[in-house]
Amino acid sequence: MFLRPRTKPGSDSIFAADELQDVGQRSLVRMIFAASGLTLGVFCVLQFLAGNYVLASLELVVAGTSLWGAWRIVRVRNLLPWIYLYLLPTFSFLLYIIVMPNGSRTAFVWVYSIPVLSYLLLGRKRGSRLALPFMSAAGLLYFYTDPVSLDAQGLIDLGNPLLCGVMIIVFVHLYETRRASAHKQLQHMARTDALTGVASRGSFQQSLEQSIGEAQRRQERLVLVMLDVDHFKAVNDQYGHDAGDQALRYICNSLSQRLRNTDILGRLGGEEFGLLLRNTDGQGAEPLVETLREQLCSQPMRYGNQDIALSATFGLAEWPVDGQTAEQLYRCADQRLYRGKELGRNRLIGRAGGEEEIGVE
């Protein structure tokens, strides 16, 4: 039978993956802040030795701010404002050093870090929206401060920085596009059961937690239904595991046809499944679940030249009547499911003016 979660959904693989991604991004932002602070600290010393006291003071302030941000970033909830707070002044400063009086002629190379940092920290869409305007402005400023002649040597001098910048933007754009696509596929794999195509256990638990929060805010009700396929081991033993796999897919397809778009079907493990019925109470959900039970047991699965009879036992729990938390709902639905098995299987145990058994055959 289904093992009730002893930990919050955050311990499941899907939530662990999301948490790992957040930790990874925070570590990256922290490293960039720290590296920027240390780099500016070195340039601050050099500018001071060169007699550029105003610029040295500015770099000292920015270096201190970056190092403070590296220490503080692990405690903030939303990284996005901090990323913009770092990128916008940094990119503006990179534009300034191009036109800075007595500035180094090679300082413009730092402009090539703009698309890398933008895509790395903001992703493809936000990164492109930020990088392209700054890179365009950098090109205009560069050609303004150092006009290029239209002879062969001048065109070479023009093509080197221009083509290098374009190639960097194209490469980081392609890389981020593929990375985002791969991450999306991994998320889909984590949220979907590979065999049946319904929600995975972790995704189902997350939906239940979120639905309870929404129902509490809106003062609505919801129903959790747990079901276990009857005598599933006998199907595997008699017809083989391929038949068992097809039986699970058949059951999921049969159940999904009668569910609303707002309802969720998830595989909790083995031959055990969960139904999340939003914005309804036990009295309203029981006729639907009973219809699902009757449809399942009255329509055997065709496997080769044989019909395989299938049925399931259902346990129903209503929020907040039968439990205030997801774990309490699981426990109640699980207990009613066990009771249905003890009473002979292929039935629904729910609440209708009091706990009762429904659909006894």
pLDDT for res 7: 38
State the burial class of residue 336 (Cβ atoms within 10 Å of its Cβ: 0-12, 13-18, 19+).
buried
Contact 200, 15 (CB under 8 A): no
- Which of 196, 208, 326 has its CA nearest to residue 267? 196
Give the whole-angstrom CA distance, residue 317 versus residue 352.
11
DSSP annotation of 192: B
C-alpha of 126 from chain center: 17
pLDDT for res 227: 94
Give the whole-angstrom CA distance, residue 67 versus residue 40.
10
State the burial class of residue 206 (Cβ atoms within 10 Å of its Cβ: 0-12, 13-18, 19+).
buried
Beta bridge partners of 332: none
Residue 313, helix vs strand vs coil:
strand
Please report which helix (H) or strand (E) contains residue 162, including its range.
Answer: helix 152-191
DSSP 225-280: EEEEETTHHHHHHHH-HHHHHHHHHHHHHHHHTTS-TT-EEEEEETTEEEEEEES-
Phi and psi (nearest 5°) for 83? -65, -45
State the burial class of residue 49 (Cβ atoms within 10 Å of its Cβ: 0-12, 13-18, 19+).
exposed
Q: Where are the domains of the chain?
A: 9-191, 201-358
Task: Retrieve residue 296's tokens.
Answer: 């399942």
Give the whole-angstrom CA distance, residue 92 versus residue 87.
8
pLDDT for res 148: 63
Q: Residue 327 is which amino acid?
A: E
What does the pLDDT profile of the chain (361 residues) look like in tens digits? 333 343 343 334 444 445 445 566 778 888 888 888 888 888 888 878 888 787 788 878 888 888 888 888 777 778 888 888 888 888 888 888 777 776 666 777 888 888 888 888 888 888 888 988 998 888 888 777 766 666 666 566 666 677 877 888 888 888 888 887 887 787 777 788 888 889 988 889 989 999 999 998 888 999 999 999 999 999 999 999 999 999 999 999 999 888 888 899 999 989 999 999 999 998 889 999 999 999 999 999 998 888 999 999 999 999 999 999 999 999 999 999 999 999 999 999 987 534 444 444 4
Residue 47, helix vs strand vs coil:
helix
Confidence (pTM): 0.60
Give the whole-angstrom CA distance, residue 124 versus residue 230.
49
Output the CA–CA distances (angstroms, integers) from residue 356 to 59, 125, 235, 293, 348, in the order listed: 74, 54, 29, 16, 9
Task: Retrieve residue 146's tokens.
Answer: 């150092």
Which residues, including other chains, have CB under 8 Å from residue 30's CB and lie 6 or more apart?
A: 70, 73, 74
Q: Does the domain made of 201-358 have the CATH classification 1.20.58.220?
A: no
Q: Report the sign of the C-alpha dihedral through residues 91, 95, 98, 103, in that order.
A: negative
Give the whole-angstrom CA distance, residue 340 versus residue 347.
6
C-alpha of 28 from chain center: 18
